């Protein structure tokens, strides 16, 4: 244990992504662990950032983000969801969704507050809730369909609950919450006067169903902090341009924390993402169709190896059960996998408080070139011998 680390951060060591990516490098394994594409996004988006650098937009951008991007975010929310936000008072540009999540939790939740979220959960949620001094209460999603017990969700809400942290499309399960489920979360938020902090970074990576932003439901716009980013939508995960849309008081609160975290970031990249958000419908449909094919390819390959495959409805990820392969320990399995067959996966147990619920599940990223997915599946066949 590191004696210097403050107590509230002691449960959070090096992220599993860093450990597994380092293992991928040291063993030369195919990295299906961390979720990033192995091809760049649209040329026009890239060129817009290059042009912005060449044109000299290289100093601090405005604290709330460049107007071009804030207006593009406003137009995107209107075009896809019919949501109206004021680009000057209701939109805030952040350093990826990661900073938006951190700033929202730090500014809206404090010591003694509770935040309800579903598990498995994206790993930054637990750390950011802890940094805010708040406590998390989790409700478990159960495979194969990642449904949850409504009573468990009701029971997780107490007089101390401040917010529900809601992620759909959901990492790592690939679940897209359906209309009834989103409605239930909204009803509970209204009934208990809760904020909803919603992480929608996979909003355009949906293969089945339709993504329903919870802010579109009656009475929800004014109690929801909608978070997204350009990383997944435009296949530029390294650019870290994210945003928050919410009513002015909530944006101002989030901005108060955000300004002391990064202040601003990625000026030239903001120009690129602004162009991306204005691309035609064919771009967004093509992105989902391409990833759907990759999802199908990886699911088929993993099933042929003998995994229990939980087919995702969206996102970059496929979860697979390893029990049919003769083991139930996902962490051990993933640490050995690069040595056994040259592939890296993530053990889902790291996304759970209830470790038994995630013990035998592992996550593979499908956002890689077809030949890379095929080669990974060929290598994984060694598990059968
Ligand atoms: C659910 C979820 N939220 C947020 C993020 C981080 O987004 P960004 O790269 O924009 O910070 C990720 C990235 O993997 C994610 O999976």
Residue 385 has pLDDT above 80, yes or no: no
pTM: 0.97
Give the tens place of pLDDT for each residue, 242-296: 999 999 999 999 999 999 999 999 999 999 999 999 999 999 999 999 999 999 9
Tell me: the pLDDT tens digits for 43-89? 999 999 999 999 999 999 999 999 999 999 999 999 999 999 999 99
Please work out whether the CB of residue 240 comes within 6 Å of at least one atom of ligand 1: yes
Residue with tokens 């709330």: 64
* Paired tokens of 4: 């210097």
Phi-psi region of 375 (alpha: psi -120 to 50; beta: other; left: phi over 0): alpha
pLDDT at 201: 98
pLDDT tens-digit series, residues 302-331: 999 999 999 999 999 999 999 999 999 999
What are the pLDDT digits (tens) for 343-367?
A: 999 999 999 999 999 999 999 999 9
Residue 14: band (very low, low, confident or very high) from pLDDT cuts 50, 70, 90: confident
Ligand 1 atom with the shortest distance to the CA of 95 = 11
Q: Is the CB of 34 under 6 A from ligand 1?
A: no
> Is residue 1's pLDDT more than 80?
no
Q: How many angstroms is it from 66 CA to the middle of ligand 1?
A: 21
232 lines ligand 1 (CB under 6 A): no
Expressed in angstroms and rounded, the spacing between residue 97 Cα and the centre of ligand 1 is 6
Residue whose token pair is 């995107």? 76
| Confidence tier at 15 by pLDDT (50, 70, 90) | confident
Candidate from 232, 239, 240, 269 with most ligand 1 atoms within 8 A of CB, to mutate: 232
Q: How far is the CA of 114 from the centre of ligand 1 (A)?
A: 22
The answer on pLDDT for 384 being more than 90 is no
Q: What integer pLDDT is reported at residue 66 of this predicted model?
A: 98
Residue 3 has pLDDT above 90, yes or no: no
**How far is the centre of ligand 1, averaged over its atoms, from the C-alpha of 320 (Å)?**
21
Q: What is the mean pLDDT of the chain?
A: 97
Q: For the chain, what percent of residues have pLDDT higher than 70? A: 100
100 CA closest ligand 1 atom index? 11
Q: Which of 170, 152, 227 is nearest to 196 (CA)?
A: 227
């Amino acid at each position: 244990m590191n004696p210097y680390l403050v107590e509230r951060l002691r449960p959070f060591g090096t992220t599993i992504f860093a450990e597994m990516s380092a293992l991928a490098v040291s063993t030369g394994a195919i990295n299906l662990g961390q979720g990033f594409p192995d091809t760049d996004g649209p040329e026009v988006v890239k060129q817009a950032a290059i042009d912005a650098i060449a044109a000299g937009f290289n100093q601090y951008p405005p604290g709330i983000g460049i107007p071009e991007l804030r207006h593009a975010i406003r137009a995107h929310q209107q075009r896809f969801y019919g949501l109206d936000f004021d680009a000057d008072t209701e939109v805030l540009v952040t350093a990826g969704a990661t900073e938006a999540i951190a700033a929202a939790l730090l500014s809206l939740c404090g010591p003694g507050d509770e935040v309800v979220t579903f598990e498995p959960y994206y790993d930054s949620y637990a750390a950011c809730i802890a940094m805010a001094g708040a406590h998390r209460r989790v409700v478990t999603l159960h495979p194969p369909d990642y449904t949850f017990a409504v009573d468990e969700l009701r029971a997780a809400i107490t007089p101390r609950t401040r917010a529900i942290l809601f992620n759909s499309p959901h990492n790592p399960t690939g679940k897209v919450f359906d209309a009834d489920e989103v409605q239930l979360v909204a009803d509970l938020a209204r009934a208990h006067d809760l904020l909803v902090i919603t992480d929608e970074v996979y909003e355009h990576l949906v293969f089945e169903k339709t993504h329903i932003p919870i802010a579109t439901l009656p009475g929800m716009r004014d109690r929801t902090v909608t978070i997204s980013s350009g990383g997944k939508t435009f296949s530029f995960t390294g650019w870290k341009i994210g945003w928050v849309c919410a009513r002015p008081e909530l944006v101002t609160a989030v901005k108060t924390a955000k300004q002391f975290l990064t202040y601003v970031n990625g000026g030239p990249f903001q120009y690129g993402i602004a162009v991306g958000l204005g691309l035609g419908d064919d771009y967004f449909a093509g992105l989902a169709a391409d990833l759907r094919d990759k999802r199908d390819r990886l699911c088929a390959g993993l099933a042929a190896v003998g995994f229990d495959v939980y087919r995702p409805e969206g996102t970059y990820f496929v979860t697979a059960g390893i029990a049919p392969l003769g083991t139930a320990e996902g962490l051990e399995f993933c640490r050995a996998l690069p040595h056994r067959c040259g592939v890296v996966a993530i053990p889902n147990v790291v996304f759970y408080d209830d470790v038994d619920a995630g013990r035998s599940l592992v996550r593979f990223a499908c956002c890689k070139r077809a030949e890379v997915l095929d080669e990974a599946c060929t290598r994984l066949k060694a598990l059968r011998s």
